[in-house]
Amino acid sequence: MRKFIGITIGPIGDTMGEATSPGALWFASSMFSDITKRICEAIIQEFTDTVIYSPYYDKNIKLDDGIGKFHDRILFSVSDFSHEKMKNIVTQVKEETVDIFPRDEKFCNEDSKKFFIEYLQIHYVVKEEDELEKENCILELSSCLDAMELMKTFPKDDAKNPIRKLFLGEDENGNKYIKNSILFQRVTKESNQLKREGRIRNIGEIASCNETLEGNYKRKHYYALVSADGDGMGKFLKGLSNEKVTEFSKCCLAYAQKAAEIIGSYGGMTIYAGGDDLLFLAPVMTAQDDIFGLCNTIQDLFVEELIACGKFSESTTFPTISFGISIQHKKFPLYEALKNSSYLLALAKADGDFSNTDCKKNNMMIGLQKHSGQSLAIVVSNEAYKTFNTILSLGNDYIGEQKVIHSILYTLDQFSSSLGVWNSQAKKEQVSLEKYKEVWNNFFDNVEQTNAQLYIDGICEFYYSKLVMGKERIFVPSYAYRNNFVTEEKEPQTQDASLLSLIYILKFKKFLSEEEGEK
């Protein structure tokens, strides 16, 4: 009788939380991907008739691009399982983890091996085939693995932590210890995203797209850290047999590889791309696109890959992808940006109430922390991306755009109560677009605004049709406000929700067009 085994591998979050540079963040992620890969190799070698359902494993998968492709859980079945063999595999993999570090006594020693024995959290659960209540082993074993991840051991002597020693090895040439690691030396593909002129790219180079961005814009000094994860996976997986799970894992690998290529072409650095999860660093804006357009492209790619696979035609609803997009100045600590990105992703995927608006997943949750201290946050559903992008793009070629946006924001704030009343009447179908524009233009009647009338009219028409009268899910979440992601004098819930959405979109637009020296 076959046995089904689930393995969980960690602590990924704690390790990545130590990272202070892109190179360190990359190494932490790649280390766990390498551990998963080595466990897969070992179970195939040690057990007969092994079937790995997730992650998709093939010994021919190329790793020379430096992108981690194996996530932190392994699900497989065998007919000759042995606890002794499994425990030996875990012990051996833990001890051999020092081999991916630099060939230096500082890292490769008995103390390091002992450290990894206690530090690495590799736990497994076994179920007999006749114990399975569900046909899908992911759904059957996931709850057990969730519980196991709460069990942590801690090394007695953290001073011997080789990971921390490795991460402290950054000098003016960048990450001197990481560059001597086996993991880094395996990255030989010419088009990899990690290196620049033999060095590991730093935050400033990522923010400025390797210093190729033109214009004197502040955004050149900001970077985005993006966490992405699949929505509705449990519901989707319920309709899949174990065999289809393997097909799904293969499909996810193809998606992740293509997503990583798109991120690289955009100018970003992919930290991890495995399963339905992504983690990457990227410029806020390039000459061709911005971070929001990049995420929208990745969302479309995920669904396209599932459809192209041709194995899931009986499924009525495909999973979607949600994003936590944390934007901050290049001097902002990377480990704090990682926390913010994870938090934003959790909000994007939440089923709770956001300012009386159902989140429903399938979102981009965008957070901006400016160098000045101001913070902004907004939720944009993937379905509403075109509306968001259109408002961001309106007037980009208008001379004096910054002053006009500032003036518009001031006017919207000054007359927010009156506009809120008109919005309420419009939603009751008591105010036409023509009447709304007439009232709107009464507010925007100073000389500077009159010269930009076409621009202001365009904002009004799109705002009325898409946010006031439409059902586009773009909103400022009260949850973000309560967690210091929105630092405004007025709480979001005191204003009309659609008006607040417009104000925050325009604030993001203002940020994207700000030039250095402007306050």
Domain with residue 120: its CATH number is 3.30.70
- Inside any domain, residue 411: yes
* Among the ranges given (95-104, 177-186, 482-491), the one the predictor scored with the smallest mean pLDDT: 482-491
- My answer on whether omega of the bond before 55 falls inside 30° of 0, hence cis, is yes
458 closest CA partner among 443, 441, 483: 441
- Inside any domain, residue 217: no
Predicted pLDDT of residue 36: 97
- Inside any domain, residue 151: yes
- Inside any domain, residue 225: no
Predicted pLDDT of residue 65: 92
Predicted pLDDT of residue 400: 61
Q: Which residue has the higher pLDDT, 332 or 240?
A: 332
- Inside any domain, residue 72: yes
Residue at a domain's end among 143, 172, 201? 201
pLDDT for residue 314 is more than 70: no
- Inside any domain, residue 147: yes
Mean pLDDT rounded to a whole number for the chain: 86
Calculate mean pLDDT across residues 61-76: 92
21-41, pLDDT tens digit by residue? 999 999 999 999 999 999 999
Dist. CA 334–CA 28, nearest whole Å: 13
DSSP assignment, residue 283?
Answer: E
% pLDDT > 70, the chain? 90
**Phi–psi pair at 328, nearest 5 degrees:** -155, 165
For the ranges 5-9, 125-129, 379-383, the one whose mean pLDDT is highest: 5-9
Predicted pLDDT of residue 488: 47
Residue at a domain's end among 185, 201, 217? 201
Q: 């932590």: which residue's tokens?
A: 161
The band of 517, judged by pLDDT with boundaries at 50, 70 and 90, is low
pLDDT for residue 355 is more than 70: no
The band of 155, judged by pLDDT with boundaries at 50, 70 and 90, is confident
- Inside any domain, residue 414: yes
Predicted pLDDT of residue 452: 80
Dist. CA 96–CA 35, nearest whole Å: 9
The band of 316, judged by pLDDT with boundaries at 50, 70 and 90, is low
- Inside any domain, residue 209: no
Domains in the chain: how many in total?
2
Domain that holds residue 178: 1-201
356-400, pLDDT tens digit by residue? 444 568 999 999 999 888 888 999 999 999 999 998 988 766 656
Question: Which residues are bridge partners to 195 per DSSP?
Answer: 200
Q: 418 and 442 in contact (C-beta within 8 Å)?
A: no
Q: Indicate if the alpha-carbon torsion angle 13, 19, 21, 25 is positive or negative.
A: negative
Dist. CA 86–CA 76, nearest whole Å: 12
Predicted pLDDT of residue 309: 78
Residue at a domain's end among 175, 201, 227? 201
Calculate mean pLDDT across residues 151-178: 77
Predicted pLDDT of residue 509: 92
Strands (E), 292-348: 320-329
